[in-house]
């Protein structure tokens, strides 16, 4: 009987201990859920799915290219729908954190600015109509013929800038080992049977020269096989994303992931040479960063959406010196419709503001299969980090450090 009494006591102590641990964990989880408050969001987005940019590739292959209903560089109907999915998702995401009202938001809460091109304006329209249907939300745009915020043009006209910029481009170009990638591309195109080889005697890409140029008011220029291959890969990617049958994507020659990987270094190399040198990136990105700065420092708007291009994201990432990253489930590092989401959070316990930056994007298969993203089937998330603002284990860095970095970037 005494042993049974001890057994009851031990059992009671165990239940009491278990209950205490559970309540402690519940209390800890509750505090964590309510520890941070989202106060501001700046979304920089690449436009969604479009048609290929180039229409002059017939001379580099004997094969016939697919025909498109839309003109080059136009947002497709599928791209409009994919961006509308992201609009709905972001509305719910922002609502969960108290930054999206049930009614129509005013511009103190939600502000939209887009580049003048059809694909950016239509992407912004798709996002807005889906997030806030039946609301009269203005999509702001430049009154100029070309928007200086989004145009990836060179601004510095000094000889010293041009000399250093060209030398940086050459250094990256010379560091690239693209022989096997060129050879794989030649095989996909059947390059030796093309007019380029038969008529122009250009039969081996690896032996052709890439010519670099920097001119004020123009994009950094790379003319030669590297640019040509970037245009070809753009066409292949748009075919795949838009859901073309496998036999119609690169004439059936990119059926496996390893096939894509055999040529993607060419487009990585092209963007590295043109936009990923420090001097060029800081020069091109300055109007964009200066435009974005008040969106961070002013009280309103609470949420901003900027709709631009992959070139904008490339120079932004380099100019602001982001750490290298790798996106899961994406063929490229700047995916179509992907968004750099800069967030200002308030730690209610420590009484301080924090920065968190995430890449939010649809995976390659979500794009190709036209998956409706939602709370249950979310897009992809990756936390990004600035070299000047190291993050903690939760992905936060001090807001004041971020603002100081922005002020120091162009000595403003």
Q: How much is the pLDDT for 19?
A: 52
Q: In the prediction, which pLDDT does 1 show?
A: 46
| 188-236 residue pLDDT tens | 999 999 999 999 999 999 989 999 999 999 999 999 999 999 999 999 9
Give yes or no for a contact between 90 and 362, defined as CB atoms under 8 angstroms apart. Answer: no
Instruction: Taking residues 233-256, report their average pLDDT.
Output: 96
The residues near 139 (Cβ < 8 Å, ≥ 6 apart) are 112, 113, 114, 121, 124, 125, 128
Taking each continuous run of H as one helix and of E as one strand, the counts in the chain are 13, 10
The pLDDT, as a whole number, for residue 412 is 62
102-122 burial: b if 16+ Cβ within 10 Å, else e? eeebeeeebbbbbbebebbbb
Six-digit token string for 154: 């060179």
More confident call, 105 vs 17: 105
151-172 confidence digits (pLDDT tens): 999 999 999 999 999 999 999 9
In percent, how much of the chain has pLDDT > 90? 89
Distance CA 187, CA 179 (A): 12
Q: What is the average per-residue pLDDT within 98-104?
A: 92
CA distance 162 to 178: 26
| Residue (of 321, 336, 304) closest to 384 by Cα position | 321
For residues 123 and 107, give the distance between their C-alpha atoms in angstroms, rounded to a whole number.
Answer: 19
Look at residues 332, 279, 339, 331 and name the one whose alpha carbon lies nearest to residue 309. Answer: 339
Contacts of 143 (CB under 8 A, 6+ apart): none
N-term to C-term CA, the chain: 82
Mean per-residue pLDDT over the chain, rounded: 92
Res 32: pLDDT: 45
Q: Contact at 8 Å (CB) between 345 and 37?
A: yes
Averaged over 364-384, what is the pLDDT? 97
23-48: per-residue pLDDT in tens? 554 444 433 457 999 999 999 999 99
Distance CA 406, CA 118 (A): 31
**Which pLDDT value is given to residue 76?**
97
Catalytically active residues are 47, 310
Give the C-alpha separation, 219 to 319, whole Å: 16
Kindly report the length of the chain: 412
Q: What is the DSSP letter of 357?
A: E
The closest alpha carbon to 61, from 192, 223, 160, 164, belongs to: 192
C-alpha count within 13 angstroms, C-beta hemisphere, residue 156: 19
Q: Tokens in use for 169?
A: 């481009």
Task: Tell me the pLDDT tens digit for each residue of 110-126.
Answer: 999 999 999 999 999 99
Condensed to tens digits (0 to 9), the pLDDT of residues 40-70 reads 999 999 999 999 999 889 999 999 999 898 9
What are the structure tokens assigned to 136, written together? 């009269």
What is the pLDDT at residue 27?
A: 44
203-207 — which CB contacts under 8 Å span 24+ positions? 205/229, 206/178, 206/179, 206/182
Q: What is the pLDDT of residues 341-364, one digit of tens each?
A: 999 999 999 999 999 999 999 999
The residue among 213, 203, 211 whose CA lies nearest residue 182 is 203
């Amino acid at each position: 009987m005494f042993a049974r009494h001890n057994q009851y006591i031990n059992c009671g102590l165990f239940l009491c201990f278990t209950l205490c641990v559970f309540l402690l964990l519940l209390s800890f989880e509750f505090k964590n859920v309510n520890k941070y408050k989202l106060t501001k969001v700046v979304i920089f987005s690449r436009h969604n799915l479009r048609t290929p940019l180039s229409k002059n590739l017939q001379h580099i292959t004997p094969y016939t290219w697919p025909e498109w209903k839309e003109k080059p560089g136009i947002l497709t109907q599928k791209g409009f729908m994919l961006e509308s999915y992201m609009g709905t998702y972001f509305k719910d995401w922002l609502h969960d954190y108290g930054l999206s009202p049930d009614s129509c938001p005013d511009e103190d809460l939600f502000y939209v600015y887009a580049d003048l091109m059809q694909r950016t304006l239509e992407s912004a329209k798709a996002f807005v109509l889906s997030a806030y249907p039946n609301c009269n939300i203005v999509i702001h745009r430049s009154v100029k013929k070309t928007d200086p915020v989004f145009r990836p043009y060179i601004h510095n006209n000094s000889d010293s800038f041009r000399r250093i910029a060209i030398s940086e481009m050459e250094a990256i170009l010379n560091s690239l080992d693209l022989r096997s990638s060129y050879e794989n591309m030649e095989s996909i195109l059947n390059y030796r049977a093309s007019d380029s080889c038969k008529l122009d005697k250009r039969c081996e890409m690896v032996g052709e020269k890439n010519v670099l140029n920097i001119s004020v008011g123009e994009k950094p220029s790379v003319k030669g096989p590297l640019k040509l291959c970037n245009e070809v890969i753009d066409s292949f990617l748009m075919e795949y994303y838009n859901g073309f049958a496998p036999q119609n994507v690169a004439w059936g020659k990119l059926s496996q992931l390893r096939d894509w990987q055999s040529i993607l270094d060419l487009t990585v190399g092209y963007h590295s040479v043109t936009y990923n040198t420090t001097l060029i990136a800081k020069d091109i990105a300055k109007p964009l960063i200066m435009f974005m700065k008040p969106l961070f420092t002013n009280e309103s708007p609470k949420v901003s959406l900027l709709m631009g291009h992959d070139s904008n994201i490339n120079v932004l990432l380099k100019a602001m010196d982001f750490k290298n990253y790798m996106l899961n489930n994406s063929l490229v590092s700047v995916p179509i419709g992907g968004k750099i989401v800069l967030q200002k959070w308030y730690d209610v316990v420590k009484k301080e503001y924090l920065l968190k930056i995430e890449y939010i994007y649809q995976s390659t298969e979500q794009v190709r299969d036209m998956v409706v993203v939602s709370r249950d089937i979310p897009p992809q998330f990756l936390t990004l980090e600035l070299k000047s603002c190291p993050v903690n284990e939760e992905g936060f860095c001090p807001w004041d450090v971020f603002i100081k970095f922005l002020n120091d970037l162009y000595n403003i």
